[in-house]
Amino acid sequence: MREAMREAEIAGSYGEVPIGAVVVREGEIIARGHNMREMWKDPTAHAELIAIREAARVTGGWRLTGCQLYVTLEPCPMCAGTVLLSRVDEVIIGAMDPKGGAVGSKVNFVETDDWNHRPTVIRGVLAEECSLMLKDFFRKLRRK
Protein backbone atom coordinates (compact mmCIF):
# COMPACT_ATOMS: atom_id res chain seq x y z
CA MET A 1 0.00 0.00 0.00
CA ARG A 2 2.97 2.29 0.57
CA GLU A 3 3.80 1.92 -3.11
CA ALA A 4 0.20 2.71 -4.11
CA MET A 5 0.48 5.82 -1.92
CA ARG A 6 3.63 6.81 -3.80
CA GLU A 7 1.62 6.61 -7.01
CA ALA A 8 -1.09 8.75 -5.43
CA GLU A 9 1.55 11.34 -4.55
CA ILE A 10 2.66 11.46 -8.19
CA ALA A 11 -0.95 12.15 -9.27
CA GLY A 12 -1.20 14.88 -6.62
CA SER A 13 1.99 16.51 -7.88
CA TYR A 14 0.27 16.99 -11.25
CA GLY A 15 -2.80 18.51 -9.62
CA GLU A 16 -4.77 15.28 -10.07
CA VAL A 17 -6.81 13.86 -7.20
CA PRO A 18 -4.17 11.74 -5.38
CA ILE A 19 -5.24 8.15 -5.90
CA GLY A 20 -2.76 5.38 -6.67
CA ALA A 21 -2.77 1.66 -7.35
CA VAL A 22 -0.34 -1.19 -7.86
CA VAL A 23 -0.81 -4.75 -9.07
CA VAL A 24 1.22 -7.43 -7.29
CA ARG A 25 1.95 -10.98 -8.39
CA GLU A 26 3.95 -13.45 -6.31
CA GLY A 27 5.04 -10.66 -4.00
CA GLU A 28 6.33 -8.39 -6.77
CA ILE A 29 4.84 -5.21 -8.17
CA ILE A 30 4.17 -5.84 -11.86
CA ALA A 31 2.20 -2.67 -12.65
CA ARG A 32 1.53 0.78 -11.24
CA GLY A 33 -1.03 3.47 -11.95
CA HIS A 34 -2.16 6.85 -10.71
CA ASN A 35 -5.16 8.97 -11.48
CA MET A 36 -4.65 10.94 -14.73
CA ARG A 37 -8.22 11.94 -15.54
CA GLU A 38 -7.65 15.67 -15.97
CA MET A 39 -4.22 15.48 -17.63
CA TRP A 40 -5.28 12.85 -20.12
CA LYS A 41 -8.82 14.26 -20.38
CA ASP A 42 -9.97 10.67 -20.16
CA PRO A 43 -12.87 9.60 -17.92
CA THR A 44 -11.37 6.11 -17.73
CA ALA A 45 -7.89 7.20 -16.57
CA HIS A 46 -8.35 6.06 -12.97
CA ALA A 47 -5.40 4.58 -11.08
CA GLU A 48 -6.88 1.07 -10.92
CA LEU A 49 -7.78 0.90 -14.60
CA ILE A 50 -4.34 2.12 -15.67
CA ALA A 51 -2.60 -0.38 -13.36
CA ILE A 52 -4.80 -3.27 -14.51
CA ARG A 53 -4.23 -2.50 -18.19
CA GLU A 54 -0.49 -2.30 -17.56
CA ALA A 55 -0.55 -5.59 -15.64
CA ALA A 56 -2.35 -7.25 -18.55
CA ARG A 57 0.35 -5.98 -20.90
CA VAL A 58 3.08 -7.28 -18.61
CA THR A 59 1.53 -10.72 -18.13
CA GLY A 60 0.54 -10.99 -21.79
CA GLY A 61 -3.10 -11.80 -21.17
CA TRP A 62 -6.26 -10.17 -19.89
CA ARG A 63 -6.78 -12.61 -17.02
CA LEU A 64 -4.97 -11.44 -13.89
CA THR A 65 -5.55 -14.59 -11.88
CA GLY A 66 -3.01 -14.80 -9.06
CA CYS A 67 -2.72 -11.03 -8.79
CA GLN A 68 -3.61 -8.56 -6.04
CA LEU A 69 -4.70 -4.98 -6.63
CA TYR A 70 -3.72 -2.43 -3.98
CA VAL A 71 -5.54 0.89 -4.23
CA THR A 72 -5.50 3.90 -1.91
CA LEU A 73 -9.24 4.66 -2.30
CA GLU A 74 -12.24 2.36 -2.65
CA PRO A 75 -12.89 1.74 -6.36
CA CYS A 76 -15.70 3.51 -8.25
CA PRO A 77 -18.34 1.56 -10.26
CA MET A 78 -16.14 1.43 -13.39
CA CYS A 79 -13.07 0.23 -11.52
CA ALA A 80 -15.12 -2.27 -9.51
CA GLY A 81 -16.35 -3.65 -12.83
CA THR A 82 -12.79 -3.77 -14.13
CA VAL A 83 -11.75 -5.75 -11.06
CA LEU A 84 -14.40 -8.34 -11.94
CA LEU A 85 -13.40 -8.52 -15.61
CA SER A 86 -9.68 -8.78 -14.97
CA ARG A 87 -10.20 -11.64 -12.50
CA VAL A 88 -7.71 -10.34 -9.92
CA ASP A 89 -7.76 -12.56 -6.85
CA GLU A 90 -7.77 -9.86 -4.22
CA VAL A 91 -8.45 -6.15 -3.81
CA ILE A 92 -6.72 -4.38 -0.92
CA ILE A 93 -8.25 -0.98 -0.18
CA GLY A 94 -6.87 1.97 1.78
CA ALA A 95 -9.55 4.57 2.53
CA MET A 96 -13.25 3.98 1.89
CA ASP A 97 -15.27 6.39 -0.28
CA PRO A 98 -18.74 6.95 1.19
CA LYS A 99 -19.83 9.13 -1.76
CA GLY A 100 -18.61 7.10 -4.72
CA GLY A 101 -17.40 3.72 -3.51
CA ALA A 102 -18.66 0.59 -5.26
CA VAL A 103 -16.96 -1.98 -3.04
CA GLY A 104 -19.08 -1.72 0.07
CA SER A 105 -19.74 1.98 0.71
CA LYS A 106 -22.49 3.12 -1.59
CA VAL A 107 -23.01 -0.21 -3.32
CA ASN A 108 -21.02 -3.43 -3.47
CA PHE A 109 -20.44 -4.61 -7.04
CA VAL A 110 -17.58 -6.96 -6.18
CA GLU A 111 -18.59 -9.10 -3.23
CA THR A 112 -21.65 -10.65 -4.83
CA ASP A 113 -22.40 -13.97 -6.48
CA ASP A 114 -23.90 -12.18 -9.50
CA TRP A 115 -20.79 -12.83 -11.61
CA ASN A 116 -18.59 -15.82 -12.25
CA HIS A 117 -15.72 -14.21 -10.36
CA ARG A 118 -15.68 -12.98 -6.78
CA PRO A 119 -12.41 -11.47 -5.56
CA THR A 120 -11.50 -11.29 -1.88
CA VAL A 121 -11.63 -7.75 -0.45
CA ILE A 122 -9.48 -6.37 2.38
CA ARG A 123 -10.31 -2.89 3.66
CA GLY A 124 -8.69 -0.27 5.83
CA VAL A 125 -5.00 -0.82 5.05
CA LEU A 126 -3.22 2.47 5.94
CA ALA A 127 -6.69 3.97 5.67
CA GLU A 128 -5.97 7.08 7.71
CA GLU A 129 -2.87 7.97 5.75
CA CYS A 130 -4.60 7.35 2.40
CA SER A 131 -7.54 9.45 3.51
CA LEU A 132 -5.29 12.25 4.81
CA MET A 133 -3.64 12.60 1.40
CA LEU A 134 -7.03 13.24 -0.17
CA LYS A 135 -8.15 15.62 2.57
CA ASP A 136 -4.93 17.64 2.26
CA PHE A 137 -5.34 17.81 -1.50
CA PHE A 138 -8.89 19.14 -1.34
CA ARG A 139 -8.03 21.55 1.48
CA LYS A 140 -5.26 23.07 -0.64
CA LEU A 141 -7.56 23.16 -3.68
CA ARG A 142 -10.22 25.09 -1.79
CA ARG A 143 -7.63 27.60 -0.56
CA LYS A 144 -6.62 28.46 -4.13
48 catalytic, yes or no?
yes
* Candidate list 2, 57, 118, 135; residue touching a second copy; CB under 8 A: 57
- DSSP lists the bridge partners of residue 73 as 95
Stretch 76-95 residues interacting with a second copy (CB under 8 A): 76-82, 84-87
* Residue 67 among known ligand-binding residues: no
* Residue 46 among known ligand-binding residues: yes
DSSP SS3 for 130: helix
* Candidate list 26, 28, 98, 114; residue touching a second copy; CB under 8 A: 114
Task: Classify residue 144 as exposed, middle or buried by CB count within 10 Å of its CB (0-12, 13-18, 19+).
Answer: exposed
Round to whole Å and give the CA distance between 97 and 115.
23
Residue positions forming the annotated binding site for Zn(2+): 46, 76, 79
- Which residues are part of the catalytic machinery? 48
